[in-house]
Amino acid sequence: AQSVTQLDSQVPVFEEAPVELRCNYSSSVSVYLFWYVQYPNQGLQLLLKYLSGSTLVESINGFEAEFNKSQTSFHLRKPSVHISDTAEYFCAVSDSPGGSYIPTFGRGTSLIVHP
Protein backbone atom coordinates (compact mmCIF):
# COMPACT_ATOMS: atom_id res chain seq x y z
CA ALA A 1 0.00 0.00 0.00
CA GLN A 2 1.14 3.51 -0.70
CA SER A 3 1.82 6.07 2.03
CA VAL A 4 3.00 9.65 2.34
CA THR A 5 5.02 11.25 5.12
CA GLN A 6 5.28 14.99 5.55
CA LEU A 7 7.92 15.44 8.18
CA ASP A 8 7.07 18.98 9.25
CA SER A 9 3.66 19.93 10.58
CA GLN A 10 4.51 23.62 10.61
CA VAL A 11 7.20 25.69 8.89
CA PRO A 12 7.57 29.34 9.93
CA VAL A 13 9.66 31.54 7.65
CA PHE A 14 10.25 35.22 7.01
CA GLU A 15 9.10 36.89 3.83
CA GLU A 16 11.61 36.67 0.93
CA ALA A 17 13.44 33.76 2.59
CA PRO A 18 13.74 30.36 0.86
CA VAL A 19 11.63 27.43 2.04
CA GLU A 20 11.55 23.66 1.64
CA LEU A 21 8.59 21.47 2.56
CA ARG A 22 9.54 17.83 2.82
CA CYS A 23 7.63 14.84 1.48
CA ASN A 24 8.57 11.18 1.42
CA TYR A 25 6.47 8.37 0.02
CA SER A 26 6.39 4.62 -0.14
CA SER A 27 4.85 2.46 -2.81
CA SER A 28 5.41 -0.93 -4.34
CA VAL A 29 4.87 0.33 -7.88
CA SER A 30 5.70 3.42 -9.88
CA VAL A 31 3.92 6.53 -8.68
CA TYR A 32 2.48 9.86 -9.63
CA LEU A 33 3.22 12.66 -7.16
CA PHE A 34 1.31 15.83 -6.39
CA TRP A 35 1.45 18.93 -4.24
CA TYR A 36 -1.83 20.60 -3.35
CA VAL A 37 -2.31 23.93 -1.56
CA GLN A 38 -5.18 24.88 0.72
CA TYR A 39 -5.77 28.54 1.52
CA PRO A 40 -7.84 29.35 4.62
CA ASN A 41 -11.47 28.25 4.41
CA GLN A 42 -11.06 26.81 0.93
CA GLY A 43 -10.76 23.43 -0.69
CA LEU A 44 -7.49 22.06 -1.98
CA GLN A 45 -6.14 23.01 -5.38
CA LEU A 46 -3.34 21.48 -7.40
CA LEU A 47 0.01 23.26 -7.17
CA LEU A 48 2.12 20.93 -9.32
CA LYS A 49 2.51 17.28 -10.22
CA TYR A 50 5.09 14.77 -11.40
CA LEU A 51 4.00 12.10 -13.86
CA SER A 52 7.15 11.14 -15.76
CA GLY A 53 10.10 12.65 -17.60
CA SER A 54 12.06 15.52 -16.06
CA THR A 55 12.37 15.07 -12.33
CA LEU A 56 12.04 18.81 -11.69
CA VAL A 57 8.55 20.25 -12.01
CA GLU A 58 7.49 23.85 -11.58
CA SER A 59 4.32 25.75 -10.77
CA ILE A 60 3.25 29.11 -12.19
CA ASN A 61 3.80 30.91 -8.88
CA GLY A 62 7.46 30.05 -8.34
CA PHE A 63 7.28 26.74 -6.48
CA GLU A 64 9.21 23.73 -7.71
CA ALA A 65 9.52 20.11 -6.62
CA GLU A 66 12.04 17.46 -7.47
CA PHE A 67 11.28 13.77 -7.76
CA ASN A 68 14.07 11.68 -6.25
CA LYS A 69 13.40 8.01 -6.82
CA SER A 70 16.37 6.71 -4.83
CA GLN A 71 15.33 8.70 -1.76
CA THR A 72 11.60 8.29 -2.45
CA SER A 73 11.13 12.01 -1.94
CA PHE A 74 9.25 14.87 -3.60
CA HIS A 75 10.25 17.97 -1.65
CA LEU A 76 8.65 21.33 -2.46
CA ARG A 77 10.82 24.45 -2.63
CA LYS A 78 10.53 28.14 -3.28
CA PRO A 79 13.57 30.46 -3.38
CA SER A 80 11.72 33.49 -2.02
CA VAL A 81 8.34 33.30 -0.28
CA HIS A 82 5.64 35.92 -0.06
CA ILE A 83 3.06 36.60 2.63
CA SER A 84 0.40 35.26 0.25
CA ASP A 85 2.09 31.83 0.27
CA THR A 86 0.81 31.29 3.82
CA ALA A 87 -1.32 28.16 3.48
CA GLU A 88 -1.51 24.44 4.18
CA TYR A 89 0.42 22.28 1.72
CA PHE A 90 -0.37 18.63 1.09
CA CYS A 91 1.74 16.05 -0.67
CA ALA A 92 -0.14 13.20 -2.37
CA VAL A 93 0.81 9.99 -4.14
CA SER A 94 -1.14 7.92 -6.60
CA ASP A 95 -0.07 4.61 -8.06
CA SER A 96 0.58 4.30 -11.76
CA PRO A 97 -0.99 1.43 -13.72
CA GLY A 98 -0.95 -1.72 -11.64
CA GLY A 99 -1.71 0.14 -8.44
CA SER A 100 -4.82 1.44 -6.75
CA TYR A 101 -5.15 4.71 -8.71
CA ILE A 102 -6.65 6.38 -5.64
CA PRO A 103 -4.55 9.20 -4.18
CA THR A 104 -3.25 9.12 -0.62
CA PHE A 105 -2.52 12.40 1.12
CA GLY A 106 0.05 13.34 3.74
CA ARG A 107 -0.83 15.09 6.98
CA GLY A 108 -0.07 18.51 5.57
CA THR A 109 2.48 21.20 6.34
CA SER A 110 1.38 24.62 7.48
CA LEU A 111 3.60 27.28 5.89
CA ILE A 112 3.51 30.49 7.89
CA VAL A 113 5.21 33.47 6.29
CA HIS A 114 6.06 36.33 8.64
CA PRO A 115 6.67 39.91 7.46
Partner 1 sequence: NAGVTQTPKFRILKIGQSMTLQCTQDMNHNYMYWYRQDPGMGLKLIYYSVGAGITDKGEVPNGYNVSRSTTEDFPLRLELAAPSQTSVYFCASSLSGGSEKLFFGSGTQLSVL
Q: Which is nearer to partner 1, 85 or 108 (CB)?
A: 108
CB of 115 to partner 1, least distance (A): 25
Q: Answer yes or no: are the C-beta atoms of 79 and 18 closer than 8 Å.
A: yes
70: left (phi over 0), alpha (psi -120 to 50) or beta: alpha
Whole-number Cα distances in Å, 14 to 11, 22, 59 = 10, 18, 21
Q: Choose, by CB under 8 A, the member of 7, 11, 13, 44 that binds partner 1.
A: 44
The stretch among 11-19, 46-54, 59-67, 73-81 that binds partner 1 (CB under 8 A) is 46-54
Binding flag, residue 72, partner 1 (CB under 8 A): no
As beta bridge partners, residue 37 has: 45, 89
Distance CA 27, CA 1 (A): 6
Q: Which is nearer to partner 1, 70 or 102 (CB)?
A: 102
The stretch among 15-23, 53-61, 72-80, 105-113 that binds partner 1 (CB under 8 A) is 105-113
